[in-house]
């Protein structure tokens, strides 16, 4: 049975008191709405992780993710945060390869493979983000492009390692644009990615991997997306900053 996940990526938003208020509201509103098989993962800015942890500790369906980690283990890398540090403060997941990091911080598939390795070595599960640009969707083999992101960053993993990874398919043209992929567009990619995992690791492994959809998910679009057979939940940006909207997305799962 695949894990169902609704994750909220707050990006570089909220001051501390706002972050705490949002978490408290979510915990209160969502506590009766989260189904037992569903995990809610909050991805606040790293500076808030230890504080937010205190506010979710009595909510077993809630977990934390960092938005990034270093590819290095430790040492003279000013400003970086290691996977081991995340693990030590009780962070279970880390976003790796968000398109904003690929675009603004030049993160390559090879670098992301190193980040995946250090996360897994420290018991932190990567939420590996992948997705194509609008130009690639219109002019290229966009499914082949996303499969290649996965091949280059994940296909060196063993089966057991891969089963600790969550995939988030996030078409770049849908992130923060208000343009959600249709359920058909998202399902097409999710099925193709699951098939890609099956070709390398076998159908049983592919069947166990959670593949989330991300890109302008709202309470209005969530139910149809989440009803698709290969969509196991969502990675939500803008709509995760509003407690009522995010709770309604959680409810839709
Ligand atoms: C994201 O940043 O991962 C994302 C999906 O953002 P939004 O929901 O705002 O498109």
* Half-sphere exposure at residue 96, Cβ-oriented, CA atoms within 13 angstroms: 32
pLDDT of amino acid 43 = 98
User: Which atom of ligand 1 lies at the shortest distance from residue 98's CA?
Assistant: 3
170 catalytic, yes or no? yes
Supply φ then ψ for residue 109, to 5 degrees: -60, -40
pLDDT in the model for residue 133: 96
How does DSSP assign 111-143, residue by residue? Answer: HHHHHHHHHHHTT-EEEEEE---HHHHHHS-HH
Q: How many residues are recorded in the chain?
A: 253
CA of 239 to the centre of ligand 1 (A): 8
* pLDDT at res. 84: 98
CA distance 223 to 243: 17
Q: Between vectors from CA 176 to CA 63 and to CA 228, what angle results, nearest 5°?
A: 65
Residue 7 in contact with ligand 1 by CB distance below 6 A = no
Residue 103: CB within 6 Å of ligand 1?
A: no
Q: Which atom of ligand 1 is nearest to the CA of 95?
A: 3
Query: Measuring CA to CA, which residue among 217, 156, 138, 140 is closest to residue 128?
Result: 156
Binding residues for substrate: 9-11, 176, 216, 237-238
Q: What are phi and psi of 39, to 5 degrees?
A: -110, 140
Is the shortest distance between the CB of 233 and ligand 1 below 6 Å? no
Pairing of strands 62-66, 125-130: unpaired
pLDDT at residue number 33: 76
Q: Best substitution site from 9, 100, 245 to test ligand 1's pocket, by max atoms within 8 Å of Cβ?
A: 9
Q: Is 156 a catalytic residue?
A: no
Q: Which residue has the CA at smallest separation from atom 4 of ligand 1?
A: 237
14's enclosing H/E stretch is none
Name the active-site residue from 98, 107, 196, 245.
98
For atom 6 of ligand 1, the residue with the nearest CA is 237
- In this predicted structure, what is the pLDDT of residue 186? 97
**pLDDT given at position 126:** 98
pLDDT in tens, the chain (253 residues): 898 999 999 999 999 999 999 999 999 988 777 777 889 999 999 999 999 999 999 999 999 999 999 999 999 999 999 999 999 999 999 999 999 999 999 999 999 999 999 999 999 999 999 999 999 999 999 999 999 999 999 999 999 999 999 999 999 999 988 888 999 999 999 999 999 999 999 999 999 999 999 999 999 999 999 999 999 999 999 999 999 999 999 998 8
Ordered by where they begin, the domains of the chain are 4-252 (3.20.20.70)
Binding-site entries: 9-11, 176, 216, 237-238
Asked if residues 182 and 174 have their Cβ atoms less than 8 Å apart, the reply is no
> What is the per-residue pLDDT for 30?
83
What pLDDT score was predicted for residue 35?
A: 77
Residue tagged active-site, from 170, 190, 196, 245 = 170
Report d(CA 233, CA 216) in Å as an integer: 13
The reply to whether ligand 1 has any atom less than 6 angstroms from the CB of 176 is yes
Instruction: Indicate whether residue 186 lines ligand 1 (CB < 6 A).
Output: no
Distance 94 CA to ligand 1 centre (A): 15
Cα of first residue to Cα of last residue in the chain, in angstroms, is 15
Q: What is the pTM of this model?
A: 0.97
């Amino acid at each position: 049975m695949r894990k169902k996940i609704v994750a909220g990526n707050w990006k570089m938003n909220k001051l501390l008191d706002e972050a705490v208020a949002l978490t408290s509201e979510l915990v209160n509103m969502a506590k009766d709405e989260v189904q037992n098989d569903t995990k809610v993962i909050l991805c606040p800015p790293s500076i808030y992780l230890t504080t937010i942890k205190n506010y979710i500790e009595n909510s077993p369906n809630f977990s934390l993710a960092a938005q990034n980690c270093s590819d290095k283990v430790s040492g003279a890398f000013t400003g970086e945060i290691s996977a081991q540090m995340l693990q030590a403060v009780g962070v279970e997941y880390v976003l790796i390869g968000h398109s904003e990091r690929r675009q603004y911080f030049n993160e390559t598939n090879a670098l992301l493979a190193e980040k995946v390795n250090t996360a897994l070595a420290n018991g932190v599960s990567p939420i590996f983000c992948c997705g194509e640009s609008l130009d690639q969707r219109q002019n290229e083999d966009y499914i082949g492009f996303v499969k290649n992101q996965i091949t280059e960053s994940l296909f060196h993993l063993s089966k057991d390692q891969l089963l600790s990874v969550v995939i988030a398919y996030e078409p770049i043209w849908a992130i923060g644009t208000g343009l959600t992929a249709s359920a058909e567009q998202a399902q097409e990619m999710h099925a193709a990615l699951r098939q890609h995992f099956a070709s390398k690791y076998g159908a049983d492994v592919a069947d166990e991997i959670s593949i989330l959809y991300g890109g302008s998910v709202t309470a209005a679009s969530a139910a149809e997306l989440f009803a698709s057979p290969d969509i196991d939940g969502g990675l939500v940006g803008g709509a995760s900053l509003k407690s009522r909207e995010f709770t309604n997305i959680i409810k839709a799962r």
